[in-house]
Amino acid sequence: MEILFYRAKQNRGWRLDKIIAAWTHGPFSHVELRFSDGMCFSSSFRDKGVRFKNIDIKPERWEILQLNIRDEQEQLLREWASKHIGKKYDFLGIFGFVIGTRIQNKKKWYCSEVCAATLKSCMPVYGYISHKVSPNKLAKLLGVEY
Condensed to tens digits (0 to 9), the pLDDT of residues 82-134 reads: 999 999 999 888 776 656 566 667 789 999 999 999 999 988 888 888 877 89
Q: Tell me what percent of the residues of the chain surpass a pLDDT of 90.
A: 64
pLDDT of 144 above 90: yes
Collapsed DSSP state (helix, strand, coil) of residue 38: coil
The total number of structural domains in the chain stands at: 1
Question: What is the pLDDT at residue 132?
Answer: 79
Is residue 62 in some structural domain? yes
pTM equals: 0.90
Domain with 120 in it: what CATH number? 3.90.1720.10
Q: What is the pLDDT of residue 97?
A: 62
Asked whether residue 40 is assigned to any structural domain, the reply reads yes
* Residue 100 resides in a domain: yes
Of the candidates 106, 114, 87, 100, the residue with the CA atom closest to the CA atom of residue 30: 114
Which amino acid does the sequence have at 36?
Answer: S
In a domain, 146, yes or no: no
Round the average pLDDT of the chain to a whole number and report it: 89
Q: Does some domain include residue 18?
A: yes
Structure confidence by residue, pLDDT tens digits, 107-117: 899 999 999 99
Predicted confidence at residue 96, as pLDDT, reads 67
pLDDT at 106: 74
Classify the phi-psi angles of 25: left when phi > 0, otherwise alpha if psi is within -120 to 50, otherwise beta.
left
Residue 98: predicted pLDDT: 59
Distance of CA 55 to the CA centre of its chain: 14
Residue 128 lies in a domain: yes
Four-CA torsion 101, 126, 43, 14, nearest 10 degrees: 60
Q: Which domain holds residue 108?
A: 2-141
